Amino acid sequence: MERKKVYILLILSLFLFLTALFVFWFSHTGSTLRASDSDFSIDRSLEVVQIEILSLDDSQGVMLEKDSEGRWILNARYFANDLAVEQLLGSMRRMRVRTPVSIENRDNVEKMLQEQGIEVNVWVRGYRVHFGNLRLLPYNRLYQSFLVGEDTPDGQSTYMRKTRSQMAFRIHIPSHESGIAYLFDPSEREWRDPVIIDLRKEQIASISVKVFENPGQSYQILRKADDSFGFFDFEDKNREILTEFDTLRFDRFISAFRDVHYESLLNEKDEILRKELMWDDPYMKIQVESQDGFRASFTAFKRNLPADTPDSDQQLRPDPNRLYIQVNGEEFAIAQYYVFNRILRPLSFFEI
């Protein structure tokens, strides 16, 4: 009888063990499947090299790419605001699932994501040969792809769904007391760095300076085969026009192309004021090209002092502190003279 009880206990123990093993295996398998739906974060050990933020209606979109020097470039045309990009990456590394969207709300959330959603794609650096510290044949691989919707009604989370999933979630950042939809803005303006030009002397291939008020003071500075620079005719890059020049002034000039930035791009209200205060004709345009093909330019316009400025009088006169610039032939910005005056130099500035 005792032996029979022992057998029964052994059989029961074995049954419970197998049941527990089955439950563990099923739970583990299920959690793996859920991870493919619910893992929105970015692994800290990976190097992110591209981020695309795109509205589903294609009305707005940005592509942020890291260049060879580690700077973020916006839409292959502008410097991106590195601090804003790093804030985005830091936030994506900390994103966590709060709860899945409830069954009764799934249809409404899915409709909102399809109509108003923002698609986010993140690429990281991969290596086709990776053995120990040996890394060869780098390439970019898509690491994350998800849709971002509105913040939840309580303002504590944001609706998100992986692009290849059918399940949406309420995503949040622990200890962050608000939704995070604002982080994924597809507007180019929001990611622009105010820096227009940031080049060292050794990076510069050419500088073109057009003086509208006195065309004879226009010129080009070109890098020669021996890596020295020369002054050439603005219309004819083969005709050198200044064989001797003040080298100290030239060095100060060409070294001033670091961190050339405007104060702010103009909003609608600023644009109304610009049309009142900006002189109709520009007085100087500068275009710079780097040795790796990067180009940037700005056109400078004088700005009158506003009528309500204490230093202004009945006769409008140029503002001594600020000017308007048109960046790369597109948007207007307000800028400070002390930043730009270092490079707004006519040809006579360099003459001996």
pLDDT in 10s for each residue of the chain, 352 residues: 566 666 676 677 766 666 554 444 444 434 443 567 778 999 998 999 999 999 998 889 999 999 888 889 999 888 899 989 999 999 999 999 999 999 999 999 999 999 999 999 999 998 888 777 777 888 899 999 999 999 999 999 999 999 999 999 999 999 888 899 999 999 998 899 999 999 999 999 999 999 999 999 999 999 999 999 999 999 999 999 998 999 999 999 999 999 999 999 998 899 999 999 999 999 999 999 999 888 999 999 999 988 765 554 545 678 999 999 999 999 999 999 999 999 999 999 999 8
What's the confidence (pLDDT) of residue 18?
61
95 and 154: one domain? Answer: yes
Quick check: is 37 in a domain?
no
Do residue 102 and residue 160 come from a single domain? Answer: yes
Q: Is there a domain that residue 18 lies in?
A: no
Residue 94 in contact with residue 41, Cβ under 8 Å?
A: yes
Say if residue 225 is in the same domain as residue 342: yes
pLDDT given for residue 334 in this prediction = 96
Task: Single out the residue in 164, 193, 222 at which a domain terminates.
Answer: 193
Pick the last residue of a domain from 193, 208, 239. 193
Query: How are strands ordered across the β-sheet holding 96-100?
Result: 78-79, 72-74, 61-66, 48-55, 118-131, 134-151, 158-162, 168-172, 96-100
Residues ≥6 apart with Cβ < 8 Å to 221: 206, 207, 208, 209, 229, 230, 231, 232, 254
79 lies in some domain = yes
d(CA 210, CA 338): 20
Range of the domain at 204: 196-350
**Residue 295 lies inside a defined structural domain of this protein:** yes
180 and 228 both lie in a single domain: no
Asked which of 146, 177, 193 is the last residue of a domain, the reply is 193
For the chain, the domain total comes to 2
For residues 340 and 325, the answer to whether their CB atoms sit within 8 Å is yes
**Tokens representing 22?**
């089955």
Whether 183 and 210 map to the same domain: the answer is no
In three-state secondary structure terms, 311 is coil
Question: What pLDDT, on the 0 to 100 scale, is given for residue 28?
Answer: 41
Confidence (pLDDT) at 335: 96
172 shares its domain with 218: no
pLDDT at site 122: 97
Q: Listing from the earlier edge strand, what are the strands of the sheet with 264-265?
A: 240-242, 229-232, 219-223, 204-211, 284-290, 295-301, 322-327, 332-336, 264-265
Considering the domain architecture, whether residues 200 and 345 belong to the same structural domain is answered as yes
- 139 and 219 co-located in one domain: no
Residues 250 and 116 in one domain: no
Which token pair is 138? 């780098």
If asked whether residues 200 and 160 sit together in one domain, one would say no
Residue 33: inside a domain: no
Tokens of 272: 């109304």
Residue 273 lies in a domain: yes
Tell me whether residue 9 is in a domain. Answer: no
* Within-domain flag for 24: no
Q: Rounded to an integer, what distance in angstroms lies between the CA atom of residue 297 and that of residue 285?
A: 7
Q: Distance between CA 23 and CA 158 in Å, rounded?
A: 32
121, 165: one domain = yes
According to the model, what pLDDT value does residue 29 have? 39
Q: Tell me which residue of 278, 269, 274, 271 sits closest to 316, measured CA to CA.
A: 278
Asked whether residue 259 falls in the same domain as residue 180, the answer is no
